[in-house]
Structure 1
Amino acid sequence: MSLERPAAFAVDLRHLLGSFRGVYVVNAIVGFIFAASAPVAIILTASARGGLSQSDVESWLFGCFVVNGVISMIFCLAYRQPLVFFWTIPGTILVGQALDHLSLAEVVGAYFATGALMFVLGLSGWVRTCMSRLPMPIVMAMVAGVFLQFGLDLVFAIRDGVMIAAPMTVAFVALSAWARIGRLMPPLIGALIVGVAAIALSGTFDPQGLAALTVARPNLHMPAFSWAAMAELVLPLAITVLAAQNAQGFVILEAAGHKPPVNAVTAACGLGSLIAALFGTVSTCLTGPVNAIISSAGDRDRHYAAGVMVSLLALLFGLFAPVFTRVMLATPKVFIATLAGLALLRVLERAFVVSFSGAFTLGATVTFLVTVANVRIFSIGAPFWAVIVGLAVSWALERKDFDKLAAGQGR
């Protein structure tokens, strides 16, 4: 095994509690609001497309926040770094599409297989080698094709619910344009606040179905293993976690002066995915945006305290998932669509830039088109075939790009 061991698992309670103040508290709250707003909206959108029941959604959110909250707290305390885990957003979208033709039990089976794969990769130390073999333009073209619908939904939300979606979008753009103000009020949080105000003024909040404060009673799901689900979901889910999510988190933490334990994090994502799968929850990943927020200011050796605070808030949210789920479901659909679309706007931009600004552009174009076409073959969804076809096209017509990729790995 090649797991990075922490220097010493000894909680310095005085140092930890002394960091529960000022910028660390603010960053923790902002980071958690980010995780509990737009990403949750994406889950609600994906689950609605998949026809999941409300109890299944509540169980999904319980796994997202409680399982990952526990893992985050352990890693933050053990490594004294801001190592916050949540769930893969691209994977959530993939699952929403897959639930059109796969049962929830089959999807849960794919979660188990993905978790086992990542756990083995983490223990073996093969993560960097495996990810370096896949051309990122082709992988990101698949991600762009999957995310495209969320960008279109943002446009449709402005068309269909202009009184709510338009002010949210204007707030997001304004805060993004004025960097100084945007640092004090993150654009997505500003859009969320404006959206809540617009809903209150328009009277479109539907309180029917809201209940008293209730604790989560998560469902336990037994997996069903099918070749169709394995082929369609396992590799794309593992790619989104390792290449799209964890890689982003590693770069962000390294830029802040931390040294994230790559293999241990990968193994934890695998183990977390195996546990979360019991509750019907999509695969665990190291979150990039939240870790970026909590490591953006203050002393580096106190950033982990903000991660601990995020973990505590996640546990609270997960335990009362039924309440928060019903509140979100009571809001207008255009609010959810706008929040999700704005959250993924930069990600969609980055996916296009990575896909079409350098090598493997023809393979990336084909991958994007096959993904958007969303044609299933042998009951296997389009994202899997998109990557396969894109790789085949690049191998046949862009062989020089593969040679350059191999040469870069040899250095």
Structure 2
Amino acid sequence: MPDLAHSFLATRAMSEALCAPLSEADATIQSMDDASPAKWHLAHVTWFWETFLLRDHLPGYRLFDEQWPFLFNSYYEAEGDRILRSRRGMLSRPTLAQVLEWRAHVNAHMEPLLADPAVADPAVADLIELGIAHEQQHIELLLTDIKHALFRNPLGPAMWGGQPAKAQAQDDGWLEHPGGIARIGHQDEGFAFDNEGPVHRALLEPFALSRRLVTNRDWDAFIADGGYRTPALWLSDGWAWVNRMHIAAPLYWRDGQHFTHQGWQDRDPDAPVCHISYYEADAFASWAGAIWQGARLPTEFEWEAIARGQDKLGFDAASGNQLDEAAPPLPTGSGELFGDCWQFTRSAYLPYPRFRPAEGAVGEYNGKFMAGQWVLKGASCATMRGHSRPSYRNFFYPQQRWQFTGLRLARDI
């Protein structure tokens, strides 16, 4: 088991460091229902620690403010009423300073639970690991949500200065797999979310996975060939969405540019395309299938079978991960399966065989969302490195695209 105290403090520090460039107003605004204010993210993860660790496992602990659970509970029905998600941006109070004071209070009170012999209690240790992973997930959401909020500002303000790194050229070619029975799900030591198991078997036909991600240059060709104007390429719901929302390009694109955490920048044609929906990924795969050797979207099981053993870098609490509070996240085409953008699969987000959610409120973490969403694999440039593992299952609704979402094609062989 990792050094929980070290991981806890490193993760908590990262959350706050990434908010350092933000003003009070930046940290309070909410640009759409799918996103939350940065201040709310800082508070919600603190509510999680207070609710599931301190309240239940630290004798005599008293809530920092008895009104705040209503404000910062997300979706845990077992924890009672909460503010509507769409109204999180109305929370001008508590202030950012008050939220940071609460965070410091909770950090200090977590010390007894993080110190031996308390972590010898498996139930406490497991909850601490879950809490660390939960806050790391919200670090990614914080970054993508504030990007969308700044994008909605007509001035296109930058969160960080400087120029983005130029993309690396990705190798062409395919990673082939002979097919057969693959063991799917989390099989290694260390933490995993409940939706990554149980381990089960999946039958794979022979296939290949592209060595590279689809790039902006590829997407420009799709657009130039009428990709957004050709109904035969689209799922029925996708075609309705394209026309209803007047979609003609990935999110954050305008003439030759895209919006980043560094403001509007020239779009690098060699960089992986990102901020696309499942509908767009599927339409592109339909278009590419006629050009690139029968290309299609992979299943999550195919992706995992190729990826097993590919990610050699675990989360290091001392050095962080691919995130750096001084360097904004941006896909650059690393040539790796992990760490540029989340990659759509054609697999619906469903429970694995014999899946059972945990008892109590923490059982609401993943299981109740297993309907109407699609699985993504591979982690993004905004993902904590410890979440870059073959079994990790991200999931979004088919129209959502404010995350760093892209695609890697597969084909039958």
TM bucket (normalised to shorter chain) is: under 0.3
Compare relative contact order (CA 8 Å, sep 6+) and give the higher one, 1 or 2. Answer: 1
Give the structure-2-normalised TM-score. 0.25
Q: Please identify which structure carries the higher helix content.
A: 1
Whose strand fraction is larger, Structure 1's or Structure 2's?
A: 2
TM-score (norm 1): 0.26
